[in-house]
Amino acid sequence: MPIFAALGLAAALAATPPPPPPPPDTLAQRIAACLSCHGVKERGDAYFPRIAGKPAGYLYNQLRHFRDGHRHYPMMTYMVANLSDDYLREIADYFAAQHPPYPPPPPGSGSSASAAQVARGDLLVHQGDAARQIPACVSCHGAALTGVEPALPGLLGLPSDYINAQFGNWKNKTRRATAPDCMATIAARLSDSDVAALSAWLSKQIPDANARPAATIPTPLPIACGSYPPATGAPGARGDASGGAK
């Protein structure tokens, strides 16, 4: 090779920047794809709810349900289709440990609900409807609606459109959980106006930044639910309950 060509090649090689280092192999790096939709500090929207701070058992169950075909959303199914149970637990544990404050709701959110709708939602949340065998939300999701360990989610901080959509999925049987599927049973007993009332009331509530899921439910569950023994209502470790709107 002529000396000038050799010198030119050497100069070109010297000017080529080294390849960037590989990204760190940390859980935070591996769940970057999750954060693109489920931002930890976000409030969530009709399609991508906030999952930070929800009980790890609940999040793990939902990841399994997407992977195993009990819940249907193509993007989620694609993301978790080939992930092991252990990896799904790691992801669930990561998000369960995040507790940043909730941002305020967007201006005008929930403003279309009437006072009567909000009052009906309040009644269903705190008292239920005994005549139609609809238990109060607080009887399963905790007095403060912040969820119960290990597998019952909190209900606050979810947009009304998302809550409506999830009740529709239970009614249409496109969202399922391990039998007895308590939320499918309850959803079937709720009218469309009841669902609108619940979503109107829930979406108006401002979550407490310091709130955490309750450790236990003080009384037995009012309805048989996948991971709760019907005799005691005591949660089992890493249960399979899928109640709530995620």
Query: Domains (ranges, CATH) in the chain?
Result: 27-204 (1.10.760.10)
How far apart CA 71 and CA 73 sit, in angstroms, is 7
DSSP state of 231: T
How far apart CA 221 and CA 170 sit, in angstroms, is 20
Q: Give the side-chain half-sphere CA count within 13 A for 122.
A: 9
* Tokens describing residue 158: 């979810």
Respond yes or no on whether the N-terminal peptide bond of residue 159 is cis (omega within 30° of 0).
Answer: no
How big is the CA angle at 188 (ends 143 and 128), to the nearest 5 degrees?
Answer: 30
What's at 10, amino acid-wise?
A
Tell me which of 12 and 214 has the higher pLDDT. Answer: 214
> Which range among 20-24, 71-75, 237-241 has the greatest average pLDDT?
71-75
pLDDT attached to residue 26: 82
Count of residues for the chain? 246
Q: What pLDDT digit, counting tens, does each position of 48-99 carry?
A: 888 999 999 999 999 999 999 989 899 999 999 999 999 999 999 999 999 8
* Tokens describing residue 80: 């978790």
pTM of the entire predicted model: 0.79
Indicate the average pLDDT of the chain.
Answer: 83
